[in-house]
Amino acid sequence: MIIVPLGVASATPTATRHLPSVALWREGTICLFDCGENTQMRMLQAGLKRSKVDFIFLTHFDVDHYSGLIGLLSTLQLQRRETPLTITGPKGIKKYVEWNFKFAETELTFKVNYVELEEDFEGGKVVDEEEFYVEARPMKHTKFCVGYRFQEKDKPGKVNAEKAEAKGITEDWQFKDLKAGKDVELDDGTVVVSHDIVGHPRPGDSFAYITDTSYHPNAVKLAMNTNILLHEATFSESLADKAEETGHSTSLDAARVANEAQTKLLVITHFSARYTNPFVLLREARKDFFPAWLATELRPIFTDPAHEKGIIQPKVYLKEIDGKSSDDKSSRGKKSDSKKKRFRKRKNYKSKSSDSYNNRKKSDSNRDRSSRSSDRRRKDNRDEGTERKPRPITPRTPFDDFDRF
Ligand SMILES: [Zn+2]
């Protein structure tokens, strides 16, 4: 199972972050969780085929979480898709999609199955396939919103071929039956018992997608023992009041869910645009839970890296966490001088923000401010030794009204 974050912004996109969506790749097919504007472009850039989407799960009807849906469906229509597609979401999703295509006088070339969740939905399986199922539960947001858990069903145990042959098993169908848990009767009447030959079933991988919610026990239930928990962390703990008021989580809330659910890996996402540097949020989450990572757009997360690496090849340049390009990795240590120059780390955090124009304009006053803020940082760090913290909040333009999201 491979998870590819396609958009990690909350509410509004920024110059470097797109609206929420995450792809789950499994055995060649794709499930999408949320479908913000730009989802289909990000899929292309991630190296994911749009035609391979079989399931779309929407959490709620805040526009940023579904604004890419009609565009994606339209592309599938233009590709003359014939395979059915299943869309799960709050009640109304069917009406919304059908109205849009009726308005455009377009008849879809493929069937869409809808799984609509009523507002009094208390939780349960919303999709049940041969090899996996998906469970949803209501979250705690300003409007009806659900979280999801994707669960692979247990995989059959390994067959001990030597032992089977010693007992007289030779035919393929006999192996198949044994693997499926059925005992096999041989011609001479002896019965070969399945669990003698087949090992314990191996647990399937799991993934939980929890977004647009304050802390809620349902998130813990969905995330219980998952391989990967993708949890929103819109705000840092210093804005816990705002998180509560707007029905969102802080990075500590995400860590709390990860702890209570004993997930194997926490990945935080859905960052407020005010955090030009989301590492502030990661650092906070890691105080309470490890391993924790930032969702990075287009960077795949694996449940089985040994077998999954290289299956999905991003089509665009990805920035490494340390600021190096992914192509640089192989040539580490033998980089030419010119390359070194090109990817040289910038000196101050401020210049990393998209708002370089304002930076230049205000560079003088910045110097004063930055010395003040480093004083503040030193104060903040009293208990944490000499750890250096980047400036946590950097408004980008005067037009960003951070009181609203
Ligand atoms: Zn949101």
The whole-angstrom separation of Cα 282 and Cα 46 is 23
Cα 272 to ligand 1 centroid, rounded to whole Å: 9
The whole-angstrom separation of Cα 113 and Cα 86 is 5
Cα 144 to ligand 1 centroid, rounded to whole Å: 12
Run of H or E residues at 54: strand 53-57
Kindly state the tokens that stand for 207.
């993934």
Cα 208 to ligand 1 centroid, rounded to whole Å: 16
Strand partners, 157: none
Q: What values do phi and psi take at 126, rounded to 5?
A: -110, -20
Residues 6+ apart with CB under 8 A from 136: 57, 88, 117, 121, 123, 124, 126, 146, 147, 148, 149, 222
CA dihedral of residues 219, 215, 388, 270 (deg, nearest 10): 60
The whole-angstrom separation of Cα 83 and Cα 52 is 9
Whether 64 is catalytic is yes
Cα 13 to ligand 1 centroid, rounded to whole Å: 11
**pLDDT tens digits for the chain (405 residues)?**
999 999 999 999 998 899 999 999 999 999 999 999 999 999 999 999 999 999 999 999 999 999 999 999 999 999 999 999 999 999 999 999 999 999 999 999 999 999 999 999 999 999 999 999 999 999 999 999 999 999 999 988 888 888 888 888 888 888 888 888 888 888 888 888 888 888 888 899 999 999 999 999 999 999 999 999 999 999 999 999 999 999 999 999 999 999 999 999 999 999 999 998 999 999 999 999 999 999 999 999 999 888 888 899 888 877 654 455 545 444 444 444 444 455 555 555 554 444 444 444 444 444 445 445 545 544 444 444 455 555 444 444 444 455 554
Q: Which residues of 188-218 are buried (b: 16+ CB within 10 A; e: fewer)?
A: eeeebebeebbeeeeebbbbbbbbbbbbbeb
- The total of other beta-carbon atoms located within 10 Å of residue 239's CB is 18
Selected catalytic residue, list 34, 54, 62, 64: 64
Cα 120 to ligand 1 centroid, rounded to whole Å: 21
Residues 6+ apart with CB under 8 A from 300: 2, 3, 4, 25, 46, 308, 312, 314
Domains in the chain: ranges and CATH: 2-155+202-308 (3.60.15.10), 161-197 (no CATH)
Question: The whole model's pTM is what?
Answer: 0.76
